[in-house]
Structure 1
Amino acid sequence: MINSLYISNFKGFKEIQIPELGHLNLIVGKNNSGKSTILEALMLYSSAGSESTLHEISINHDEKSRERPRFNDPRFNSNDDKTNDIDGGFPYEHLFYGRKFNGKIPIQIGEIENENKLLTISYLKRKQDTNDSKNETLKLLQKLNVIDSEVILPNATSQNILEVKKGRTKHIIPLDELIYRRLNRYVESEEKQRTNFQYVPTKTTSMDDLGVLWDKATLTPYENILLMP
């Protein structure tokens, strides 16, 4: 549990501080004032910056993630996908303030003035020797059994990554398409750094889903409860 909340450079928040938190907290405000962003920040903090959480936040807002819709997926739009590829944006870039990576300003989420409990997500672009098979990206891919230990990435003149730190632990999330297209799973944080949580999205339930739920309630004792004024 954290006793206060500090968020900077995350989505629409350049910086926000909540000096005190309790066991139960009520967040109120006008539409588009950032209530959901605070919850998403807490979700990201609780997961210790796991890529699966970055992905979930992204797809909930129809933003770019490492996973793209397949051509036979109803969400697939060839024109949109083509435009995104031309734009050349990286996955998760939209989560940074101003919707752009800034190498000098990371996302930070945690307790006020407590670096030991601070989650930091930084964008880094590193120049690499193409013959150096010991760089962090290659070691990550080898650890996940995605590539053989003898493989060297061709023409890897730069390396775009997210460096995720929480406490004394660190992991990296590769952003270059050549690399992340070959990963068959998301890059997760260490289990000991995570906190159990459940995020309930604010999206409206579809009529089809509501119909299924209603069918389960009709002609049962719960029907009268649902119809009570």
Structure 2
Amino acid sequence: MLTNLRIRNFRMLEDLEIPKLGRVNLIVGKNNSGKSSILEALRLYTGKASPELMRRILISHDEYYDFNQNSNIENTNNWHGLKNLFTNREFPENENTFISIASEEGNLIKIEYVFYYIKEEPVIDNEGDIIDITSRRVIINQSELSTIEETSLPTPAIRITLKSGRNTLLDLNEDNRKRPLSVFWLLNAGDSLKCSFVSTTFSSTESLAKLWDQITIGPNEDIVLDALKIIDENIERLAFVESENRTGRLAIIKLKNSDTRIPLSSMGDGMSRILQLILSVFSAKDGLLLIDEFENGLHYSVQEEVWRIIFQLAKDLNIQVFATTHSWDCIESFTKAAVSSPEEGILLKVSKSKLTSDNGKIIATIYDEEALKTVTASALEVR
């Protein structure tokens, strides 16, 4: 479990230090304060900054495209959109500026903007004859570009280095519609950590069905049903069934003392959101659960009970939870659940520093459970 975190040069997080983390962490702050960027940084860490993951993150923000001076979309079949992940949305000119997601143990992952060129060298036999030509990739920094021979055209790339020290290159000019072969070994390296991400939007029914298939006919099925009963205590069964009139399965529920099957979606957004949250917990076992805008679809009156379930499952399944919110109701319900749970809950406020020397840098303020008892809405500036 991460006990602290430092994120540098990632999006608007120039140098964010989070000195303390708990089992369950709630991130608050105004719009555009960097809440979701923290979740994205954690996704990059657990996903080893895989090209497919970075592609999904860029697409979710419409950052996958290049625009010319006339605002027309240009070639989108390369990886130059990755510049949006760096501070100021540009690849850094300073070779000492790179994306770093780290803890006290050191870099968890490091993403650098570099260049490389192909250097050919002759293979000479004992008689001095050239019998072969070998080529190797030489990595250089921007300050070394002027030292390269004109015949060796440098290629821009992203170098990804994991905590273990393993690293690989992603050619920025490479066709991004193909998965680079060079990253397969990196992604399959050890020290993998599960991560389940719950976005602000509702998951498709088929996605939920696949998660349900993994836990059905077991004790976890009852946990899901108990969670749904927070909204309607008469819920007795949940199933995902095939339908000839639609693509994918349909989620239906059965109520007590009734043989009627009711579509889950007809029970309101809260029911769908709770199902999405709880099913996502199980797939994060021994890893991270990331929730963007926890309160989406949930009435304030049910949030405390949902938080209690999250705290308990986080302990039982050895999960560390990170969630964001801009709702005071969500903060109040989180506080009540955190104080009553043996697992530590931490509230993390992100905001612009008021120190002139920080030049508007995003900083973190930590509220442990004791501080949460007296914190006010005005102090957190959630609106």
TM-score range, shorter chain: 0.5 to 0.7
- The separation in 1 between residues aligned to 2:157 and 2:264, in whole angstroms, is 52
Structure 1 stretch 27-36 or stretch 4-13: which is displaced more? Answer: 27-36
Structure 1 pair 56/224, CA: closer, same or farther in 2 (3 Å)? Answer: closer
Q: Corresponding residue for 1:106?
A: 98
Q: Once the two structures are superposed, what CA deviation does each residue of 1:100-159 show, in whole Å capped at 9, x if it has no partner?
A: 111320100021x432x431111102354477622169xxxxxxxxxxxxxxxxx76012
Q: Corresponding residue for 1:126?
A: 116
- Percentage of pairs with the same residue: 28
Cα shift at 1:49? 2.2
Provide the secondary structure at the position in 2 that maps to 1:173.
Answer: strand
Contact 1:14/1:97 (<8 A) preserved: yes
2:73 to 61, 80, 96: 80
Structure 1 pair 203/92, CA: closer, same or farther in 2 (3 Å)? Answer: farther
2:82 to 60, 83, 92: 92
Cα shift at 1:7? 0.3
Provide the secondary structure at the position in 1 that maps to 2:97.
Answer: coil
Cα shift at 1:173? 3.1
Provide the secondary structure at the position in 2 that maps to 1:27.
Answer: strand
The alignment's TM-score, normalised by the length of structure 2, stands at 0.42
- The separation in 2 between residues aligned to 1:130 and 1:182, in whole angstroms, is 27
Contact 1:11/1:94 (<8 A) preserved: yes
Letter in 1 for 2:261: T
Q: Corresponding residue for 2:171?
A: 175
Provide the secondary structure at the position in 1 that maps to 2:23.
Answer: coil
The structure with the greater share of residues assigned to strand is 2
Answering whether residue 31 of structure 2 is matched by residue 40 of structure 1, we say no
2:179 to 160, 172, 185: 185
Q: Once the two structures are superposed, what CA deviation does each residue of 1:162-188 show, in whole Å capped at 9, x if it has no partner?
A: 1111223323233342xx228832434
The alignment's TM-score, normalised by the length of structure 1, stands at 0.67
2:159 to 163, 172, 178: 163
Cα shift at 1:197? 0.5
Structure 2, unaligned runs of 5 or more = 67-71, 122-133, 140-150, 205-246, 254-259, 272-298, 300-383
- The separation in 2 between residues aligned to 1:108 and 1:224, in whole angstroms, is 41
- The separation in 2 between residues aligned to 1:183 and 1:205, in whole angstroms, is 25
Contact 1:7/1:15 (<8 A) preserved: yes
Contact 1:7/1:110 (<8 A) preserved: yes
- The separation in 2 between residues aligned to 1:43 and 1:122, in whole angstroms, is 17
- The separation in 2 between residues aligned to 1:198 and 1:224, in whole angstroms, is 22
Contact 1:130/1:156 (<8 A) preserved: no
- The separation in 2 between residues aligned to 1:182 and 1:134, in whole angstroms, is 23
Provide the secondary structure at the position in 2 that maps to 1:25.
Answer: strand
- The separation in 1 between residues aligned to 2:51 and 2:27, in whole angstroms, is 26
Provide the secondary structure at the position in 2 that maps to 1:193.
Answer: coil
Letter in 1 for 2:196: Q
Structure 1, unaligned runs of 5 or more = 69-78, 138-154, 207-211
Aligned-residue CA RMSD (Å) = 3.8
Contact 1:128/1:156 (<8 A) preserved: yes
Provide the secondary structure at the position in 2 that maps to 1:62.
Answer: coil
